[in-house]
Amino acid sequence: MTELSNSIQVMGLSKSFADQPAIEDLSFQVEPGEIFGLVGPDGAGKTTTLRILAGVLKADRGSVIVGGHDVASDPQTLKRDISYMPQRFGLYEDLTVDENIRFCADLFGVRRKLRQDRATRLLAACEMSEFRGRLAGKLSGGMKQKLGLVCALIHAPRVLLLDEPTTGVDPVSRREFWNMLYALVSEGVAVLSSTAYLDEAERCHRVALLYRGRMLMCDSPKGLRDAVKGAVISIISNQARQVQELITGDDRFAHSVLVGNALHVFVDDAGVRIPELESSLSAGGISYEEIAQVAPTIEDLFVHAVTSEVGH
């Protein structure tokens, strides 16, 4: 039963706003102890999905089952099990850190002793113990997000829903935030988190890439990278721009991107194309420091998937 109650199953979820589809036929599953990332740019449907899962928005079609309970038909039962942290989390800026935590704990009827133990542990985990008496309004952006997470966790939910929790958060706080999530899932909690940072997808156990309401792909970060057909070749050169001009119009090197002092070229087969590039470069009289195959990033993958799908 515990196993089951920490999982999320989403089947055929669709939602439109004034005939404009926000999400179309989404299906995925989040296992207990897993961090599942909903990854995509603004307008991909991340917030809509999370709000339906949290029971604050009704889907047009499809179902969401959390721990065997249908969210739409049985929202009250699930309230205790799910915690939802929206993008703009409603902290009380004129209350202190401790007072905000107590307020959230009272909403869920968490007993005093339990609340104190959890607050101490959670605040220590996010390096905020020394700020318990500070007004929430006086916290930095990163600390506000961490306090939001502490509040969301004070009733020990089994499923945690986070909407872009690290947007605008500095890298150090971002890492502490993720450390807390990893500690949480090691206790069996299921975490569904959205992000617009594609590099953050690498930190999730599995991710769904969303674009304009539809799922492009769903797999582990490694699985996604392995699914990339072809390879990325990086040419480091002071004449990277000339390299790009040289290969423009050549179907073998149809897609390339300038990255600082390098040009990244997307090809079908690095083993074949590297020697070909080398000979074109020397024929063109262009010098270069290095030419090598590099691992594609999730961003490479996303841009590739989107451009091939919609002909951006």
Partner 1 sequence: MTEADYAVVAEALVKRFGEFAAVDRISFPVRRGEIFGFLGPNGSGKSTTIRILCGLLKPTSGRVVVAGHDVSEHAELVRQSIGYMSQKFSLYNDLTVRENLRFYGGMYGVSGAQLREAIAVTLEMAGLTDMESTPVATLSGGWKQHLALGSAMLHRPPIVFLDEPTSGVDPVARRQFWQVIQRMGAAGTTIFVTTHYMDEAEYCNRVVLINHGKLVALGTPAELKREKLGGELMELVCEPSWSAIEALKALPAVVDAFVFGNAIHLLVTDSTIARAEIQRLLQNAGVAMVRFEPIRPSMEDVFVQLTVRRNAAHAEGAAP
Residues lying near partner 1 in the complex (CB under 8 A) are found at 41-43, 140-142, 168-172, 175, 178-179, 182, 186, 196-199, 202-205, 220-222, 241, 257-261, 295, 299, 302-303, 306-307, 312
Which is it for the CA torsion 240, 241, 243, 244, positive or negative?
Answer: positive
Q: How many CB atoms lie within 10 A of CB 218?
A: 18
- At 161 the three-state DSSP class reads strand
Quick one: residue 257, left, alpha or beta (phi over 0 = left, psi -120 to 50 = alpha)? beta
Residue 276: helix, strand or coil by DSSP? helix
CB closer to partner 1, 77 vs 293: 293
Provide the minimum distance between the beta carbon of 44 and partner 1 in the complex, in angstroms, as a whole number: 8
Q: Min. distance of Cβ 202 from partner 1 in angstroms?
A: 6
Closest by Cα among 14, 30, 22, 21 to 62: 14
Nearer to partner 1, 26 or 39 (CB): 39
Tokens 């009704």 sit on residue? 58
User: Least separation, in Å, of the C-beta of 287 and partner 1?
Assistant: 16
CB of 110 to partner 1, least distance (A): 27
**Which of 153, 151, 203 shows the shortest CA–CA distance to 174?**
203
Q: From the CB of 141, what's the least distance to partner 1, in Å? A: 6
Min CB(27)–partner 1 separation in Å: 23
- Closer Cβ to partner 1, 72 or 303, answer by number: 303
Question: What's the gap between Cα 15 and its chain centre?
Answer: 21
Burial of 171 (0-12, 13-18, 19+ CB in 10 A): exposed
- Dist. CA 53–CA 47, nearest whole Å: 10
- Cβ closest to partner 1, residue 71 vs residue 162: 162
Minimum CB separation from partner 1 for residue 306, in Å?
A: 5
Q: Which is nearer to partner 1, 55 or 296 (CB)?
A: 296
Beta-carbon contacts of residue 182 (< 8 Å; ≥ 6 apart): 35
The residue (of 283 and 310) whose beta carbon lies closer to partner 1 is 310
